Amino acid sequence: MRAPSRAGIASLSVLLTGLLAGQGPAHAQFRIGGGQRGQSNAQEAAPGFGGQRGNGGTVFPGNFPQQGGVGGILFPGGFPQQGGGGMERQPQGRRPQRGEGDASNGRRGPTNGNPTGPNPGQPFQGSDGRWYYPDGRPYGSVHPGPGGNLGQPYQATDGNWYYPDGRPYTGVAQPAMGGNQGQPFLATDGNWYYPDGRPYTGVAAQPAAANPGQPYLAVDGNWYYPDGRPYVAPAAAAAPASTAATPSRPAATEPATPAANIIPDLARPAAIAGNSVRTRLPAARPPVRESLGQELTRSLEEGIERMEDNLRAALFGEADEAAFLAIYKRSFTEDTPQFRLARKNIKSLDADELRQGLAIDQVVDAGAQVYPSKLEVSARFGAFKREVLEGRSAAELDQASKALLKTYERIARAPEFADTGVPAPEQVRAEVARLRGLFEVRQRLAAPAPAEGTVAMDRRLWVVSYPGLPRDAIQAVDPQVCLWGTGTGAIDVREAGLVDLGVPLLNRVASPLPEAPKPPARSGALVYSAKDAPAPVNYVIDGASFELKPGESRSHEVAANSRITYDRGGGLGNMTYQLAAGSYRFAVEDRAWQLTKPTFSAVIDNSANGCDFRCEVDGQARTVPARKTLEVAGNYPISIRFEREEGQPASTKVLDEPRPVTVGVAPGSTALDLYPGTSQELCVRPVAPEAVASLPQAEPTSPARAGRQPLLPTVDDLQ
């Protein structure tokens, strides 16, 4: 071997001196490609191995390890990775130890073949050129290459993603494992980059030429392959975001909202039972109307036959015709004009001509005078019968009825009918009225039915006793006709009025009791001033002052030692009383203010009403039966609450003085009300009142008294 020259030795000394004295600059030169080309410039950085593409060996995070040669890097298993500047081979089997090389500033080199970093799961490149996890499992991505961003995350052995410094990677889209190495990633500076270091702008762009199959984000916000097929991200990967990734949060759940709770209006009075007022009746249903029409026709036919039988002795029959013509034959033969005219008058029921013929022909037979009268009754009855069965006009029937009654009353009192046994005129009049009523109802039934479910009745009307309805059931055909169920018997009609239906109709216009805005108090002390008091009155209860105008009242809580004090007026001084539960009345008597403790009583008179009167007396449900009265009493003004008519608000009356009150209906009204006075004084058809058991009033609860009581007078002492 030829010995080196002096110049060569000098150059080698300078080179070695520079190398040993400045490994930092040498390291930097190596990282930026100052050394010779290493394995390949096409290697990309894998997760955890970022940095610029260089011309030297593969670059790892941290300080460059010094291992014998300039560019030699030792990998697990002792296989040296040759760098561009490494000219010497690492001795066989030698591994770098902890602290060897440049470990200043907390930097450490590889230990026992594991890559540098705080996470032991970082992949490394084996001797076969492939990448593995430290436990020997192959790393699914291609080998990392150098790049411009050292913050690229990587997937560790625990299945999670981390930054090279060990922080968990929380990005929306983790880097995909496998076939597309152009996917951008979220770096430690909060920005997104492509693996080659170019910033990722998030806009739609065609994939790089090096990766023609890479999907891209289009302007419609969806991802596509370059051939136009939609890109469907695998379950382990998500589409990259155009801005810094934020930790995913679970969807916010709306808190459960409880259902609304209802607080009932405790101050609202409870519903009370309704009252039946027969001024308004339910309308008869179509089946009832149809059945009634058939019954009316049959009843008219039966009625007219019965009436004809009753009037048989007063009607001109075949026997009467033979007897009358026999009388004529005594004076005339059948071929004479007198006989033929008499026969003609009989056939035509012309009683006047027949009576005139007897006078002209001088027929003096005493029995002949009865026949013209019978013929006249027959004529009038025939006209009445036709109108009843076939007529369509109530006016024509009325005219025929009057003619029949007039004729019959005249002949029934004639001497020649005294012993004939004809019915009395009153009986005939009643039968005519009944048939007229049936006819009138049938005519009204032919009219259209009322549209509403109830019918307001007229004061005068027809009442039909109808067996087709249950007993005492009442329905209306129209405002002038109502059906009263009998359950059995024959149909009947009579003229009637509202009072016949049991309506407590007043005989004159009267003012009802005034409405009370609310019931009086039922506990404590109720202090009120008489309505006729001349001035307001002042008083003090338990140290508090109050004033009452005439007719006003005020309730107070009562304690065991409550007192009431007032000035009697006129210089008479003050009076003080012990106060208990009950009512107290201020009034001027004997030229001084007096305080008394009254009791209250009243009589509810329902004797003119054909229906029960349902009400609340001092909050207790009570019923005053039809045609009865009820007496009530108590220590507070009596409150009566009732329903005037279906569909109307409840009415409340307060009785603050002893008096009777009548349940009645004012003329022109359809609703019940309470009127001061008795039914004997106020109603059209009063009924002798029959009292029922009086309503007991519960005694108020007084404050408990124990021990010695104050020696004060009580109001009871004044009574």
Q: Are 404 and 342 in contact (CB under 8 A)?
A: no
In 225-319 the beta strands, taken as DSSP E runs, fall at 280-282
Question: What is the end-to-end Cα distance of the chain in Å, rounded?
Answer: 156
Distance from C-alpha of 76 to C-alpha of 89, rounded to nearest angstrom: 16
Query: What confidence score (pLDDT) does residue 557 get?
Result: 92
**Cα–Cα nearest to 664, from 519, 514, 516, 510:** 510
Whether 497 maps to a domain, the answer reads no
Q: Is 301 helix (H, G, I), strand (E, B) or coil?
A: helix
Q: Is 14 helix (H, G, I), strand (E, B) or coil?
A: helix
Q: How far is CA 206 from CA 159, 183, 196, 241, 511, in A?
A: 31, 12, 16, 16, 98
Distance from C-alpha of 536 to C-alpha of 550, rounded to nearest angstrom: 6
Query: What confidence score (pLDDT) does residue 257 get?
Result: 66
Query: What confidence score (pLDDT) does residue 415 get?
Result: 82
Q: Is 284 helix (H, G, I), strand (E, B) or coil?
A: coil
Distance from C-alpha of 356 to C-alpha of 369, rounded to nearest angstrom: 11
Burial of 698 (0-12, 13-18, 19+ CB in 10 A): exposed
User: What does the block give as tokens for 271?
Assistant: 């519903």
**HEC readout, 572-619:** CCEEEEECCCEEEEEEEECCEEEEECCCEEEEEECCCCCCCEEEEECC
Whether 320 maps to a domain, the answer reads no
Q: Is 674 helix (H, G, I), strand (E, B) or coil?
A: strand
Q: What domain range is 527 assigned to?
A: 502-719
Query: What confidence score (pLDDT) does residue 714 get?
Result: 57
Which one-letter DSSP state was computed for residue 196?
T
Q: Is 485 helix (H, G, I), strand (E, B) or coil?
A: strand
Q: How far is CA 507 from CA 303, 463, 611, 686, in A?
A: 37, 22, 19, 10
Distance from C-alpha of 38 to C-alpha of 35, rounded to nearest angstrom: 8
CA atoms within 13 A on the CB side of 117: 26
Sheet (strand 620-624) strand order:
620-624, 613-617, 638-643, 650-655
Q: Are 124 and 116 in contact (CB under 8 A)?
A: no
Query: What confidence score (pLDDT) does residue 471 get?
Result: 92
Q: Are 624 and 591 in contact (CB under 8 A)?
A: no
**Cα–Cα nearest to 488, from 500, 471, 502, 505:** 471
Whether 588 maps to a domain, the answer reads yes
Whether 278 maps to a domain, the answer reads no
The one-letter code for the residue type at 233 is: A
Whether 51 maps to a domain, the answer reads no
Mean pLDDT by 10 residues, the chain (719 residues): 52 50 43 39 40 41 40 39 41 43 41 46 72 71 47 74 75 47 70 75 47 68 76 54 43 61 53 82 93 93 94 90 88 89 89 86 80 91 93 90 93 82 91 92 89 90 93 93 92 90 89 86 89 94 95 91 94 92 93 93 94 93 94 92 84 90 92 94 81 51 36 51
Q: Which helix (H) or strand (E) holds 659?
A: strand 659-664
Whether 570 maps to a domain, the answer reads yes
Phi, psi of 378 (to 5 degrees): -65, -40
Query: What confidence score (pLDDT) does residue 703 get?
Result: 37
Query: What confidence score (pLDDT) does residue 581 get?
Result: 92
- Kindly tell me the number of DSSP H helices and DSSP E strands found in the chain: 10, 33
The one-letter code for the residue type at 122 is: Q
User: What does the block give as tokens for 245?
Assistant: 């990734």
Burial of 596 (0-12, 13-18, 19+ CB in 10 A): middle
How many domains is the chain built from?
1
Query: What confidence score (pLDDT) does residue 430 get?
Result: 92
Whether 510 maps to a domain, the answer reads yes
Distance from C-alpha of 630 to C-alpha of 624, rounded to nearest angstrom: 6
Q: Is 385 helix (H, G, I), strand (E, B) or coil?
A: helix
Q: Which helix (H) or strand (E) holds 412?
A: helix 394-412
Q: Looking at the DSSP assignment, which residues form a beta bridge with residue 547?
A: 538
Q: How far is CA 688 from CA 508, 627, 683, in A?
A: 19, 8, 12
Q: Are 328 and 504 in contact (CB under 8 A)?
A: no
Whether 684 maps to a domain, the answer reads yes
Q: What is the pTM of this model?
A: 0.53
Rg (CA), the chain: 62
519-539: b or e for each residue (b if 16 or more CB lie within 10 Å)? bbebebbbbbbbeebeeebeb
Distance from C-alpha of 102 to C-alpha of 108, rounded to nearest angstrom: 7
Q: Are 510 and 677 in contact (CB under 8 A)?
A: yes
Distance from C-alpha of 117 to C-alpha of 237, rounded to nearest angstrom: 25
Query: What confidence score (pLDDT) does residue 705 get?
Result: 36
Distance from C-alpha of 116 to C-alpha of 103, rounded to nearest angstrom: 12
User: What does the block give as tokens for 18?
Assistant: 């520079």
Beta-carbon count within 10 A of 709 CB: 11
